[in-house]
A and B are shown apart, each in its own frame.
Chain A
Amino acid sequence: MSEEAKAKVDEMPDWSAYRGVLIVVEQRAGVAKSVSWQLLGEGRKLADKLETDLLALVMGDGVGHLAEEAAYYGADKVYLCDAPELREYRTRPYSRVCLKLIEEAKPEIVLFGATGTGRDLAGAIATHLPTGLTADTTALDVEAPPSRLLLASRPAFSEKMMATILCKQYRPQMATARAGVFQALPRDTSRRAEIIRIDNPMKEAEIAARVIDFIGDSGKVNLEEAEVIVAGGRGLGGPEPFQMLKELADALGGKVGASRAAVDAGWINHDHQVGQTGHTVRPKLYFAIGISGAVQHTVGMSNSECIVAINKDPDAPIFQFAHYGIVGDLFKIVPAITAEVKKRRGALVHE
């Protein structure tokens, strides 16, 4: 760090007017993105450490139910802006609502999902305030009071390094955070939060942007939401063996994933790719089959609760991440596992 940067870190203004951790909940058509609940889970930890409230902001049209959901996932206080102008996401009205709330509620930390919408919104708001915005964080922590600093860490240089970024001189401290990295709290329907309705300050006539159409593609695999992923790599040698993986995935109620090598070879489409340039996933069970375990792959899956690796090379780096390792030929082992799973599940059903 340069002298100037050091000097900057050392002096810090009085921020006692700013308290609370705010999560901006993202939704489409009244359905929340799971990253929002994951951020509430992480935000709960930060707020507890700071001995402050966890706040949520829900914006949309007909989204009152999400205010209650936010409480179930850990929020103490939920701000709800329910207005027809907010039916679809548009930068101007959404950022106006956020800005107004941030100015009034003065949270010390504001977090958004690092989704297209989250980044669009956060980038506009941070500039307007102005304040610092850390992009695409994968680890968050706070320094205990009195400093209360947000330690926002993000991958840099194609994920080869991590950087911790601070914002000392401005409030709130803002960050976007990657989906699939943080863990949501169990949904607890007995939890209640204070729900505060806020007005939408912008009228339709003032908004230039129109959302004409939304082409949702429902055929897309939603790996980020999957509880079981059976992923294959270059070791599969071609497109056909993915059918074998699909059978195991079906037996477990899971989805099929892939390494970039398999996607680049054209064996399966990019929607299935796990890793730096694919999806970040955190299923309960992840199979890495014929995947060597390159860092660009493992950044996307190392948060899985249980990882099973199958590889013929006992020195494959994937075994450093796996909870269970099997050395051997995937073409023999995968069908055996599928059969075994079917047998055990069948046995349970018949009991």
Chain B
Amino acid sequence: MLHIVVCVKQVPDSREIRIDPKTNTLIRQGVPSIVNFYDLHGLEEALKIKDEHGARVTVVTMGPPPAEKALKECISLGADEAVLVTDRGFAGADTLATSYVIAQTIEKCGKEWGPVDIVFCGKQTLDGDTGQVGPGVACRLDLEQLTYVGKVVQVDPNARRVTVQRFLEDGIEVVETKMPVLITALKELNKVRRASLPGMIRAARYKPIVWTTADFPELDRSKIGLKGSPTIVAKTWVPEVKPANTKMLEGETPEALAAALADQLWAGELAQKLGL
């Protein structure tokens, strides 16, 4: 049977974050935590593959204990098992350190429940928003990597091949490769199902599996958390609105205003540059 691991992250809904105008800092209070929605599309695709071919779906997250809530949501949708990787030592991780821990976790999932064939990640998160964890995990586990996937065309468990459509800026690329593979999910991939009643009941009773650094005897401590992170956020600031240098055009009629604008545009080099 296929073993599919879905990586999910609990994130503050950054669309709800506001800036305190007095202190120029983020107001995080009252901002809801949600499952990064791209990850839910990854989970949905895993569940679709499970419906079609039969598969074991394991969900993993690295985060503080409240991230358990995100895992329960995944269980209610139909995931078989969920793992919370949590430890103070993991805090402050950038994408390099995050991908190290996630990769170790997936490897351990493979040892516990059978080799992993497909890993789903989101295209990016709503908070860190880098889209780098997926490629990082693929690189560490030496998996084939298919990013920005908007459609899974075919999964062939016997031939062990996967065909997808990657949605890029300039068009759609159809790519086929072999398993094991890591796929990063776009929202175009599918429509996320609703939790079923039995799913919700199971989730209410479900206790996620919790792993800490102690569960990874081989873990290289120099590669985790802040210590294992090459990037440092040195400074944050609120971008200033450029000082107004606006020339307000005057005119009694629309025609006069249009002429005033044209005078300005044709006076400088702009019209020349544009070949007007």
A interface with B by C-beta (< 8 Å): 1-2, 4-5, 8-9, 28, 88, 90-92, 115-117, 119-120, 122-124, 126-128, 130-136, 151, 155-158, 160-170, 179, 208-217, 220, 227-228, 252-253, 284-285, 302, 305-306, 308-309, 317, 319-328, 332-333, 335-337, 339-341, 344-345, 348
Contact = CB atoms under 8 A, between A and B. Distances in A.
A253 B273 CA distance: 12
A323 B135 contact: no
Given A284-B270, A285-B270, A132 B231 contact: yes
Nearest to B241: A320
A324 B247 contact: yes
Nearest to B153: A212
Contacts of A308: 261
Most buried by B among A8, A91, A328: A91
Contacts of B274: 227-228, 252-253, 284-285
Given A4-B226, A208-B144, A119 B173 contact: no
A157 B171 contact: no
Contacts of A136: 129-130
A64 B144 CA distance: 29
Contact of B249 (A130, A228, A252, A324): A324
Most buried by A among B132, B231, B261, B266: B231
A168 B266 contact: no
A132 B175 contact: no
B144 A128 contact: no
Closest 5 CB pairs of A and B: A123-B135, A132-B230, A135-B130, A216-B171, A336-B254
A150 B175 CA distance: 35
Interface in B140-166: 140, 144-148, 163, 166
Interface string B229-259: 1111111111101101111110001110111
Contacts of B82: none
B273 to A, nearest CB: 6
Contacts of B135: 91, 119-120, 122-124, 127
Contacts, number: 247
A157 B235 contact: no
Contacts of B99: 127
Contacts of A285: 265, 270, 274
Given A157-B14, A165-B233, A215 B171 contact: yes
B17 interface: yes
Contact of A120 (B14, B19, B147, B242): B147
Nearest to A135: B130
A177 B15 CA distance: 23
Given A126-B136, A216-B170, A340-B255, A133 B96 contact: yes
B270 A135 contact: no
Most buried by A among B14, B19, B135: B135
A169 B230 contact: yes
B134 interface: yes
Contacts of B261: 308, 324, 326, 337, 340
Nearest to B266: A344
Given A157-B17, A323-B246, 8 more contacts: A1-B234, A91-B138, A123-B134, A156-B129, A208-B178, A317-B241, A333-B254, A336-B257
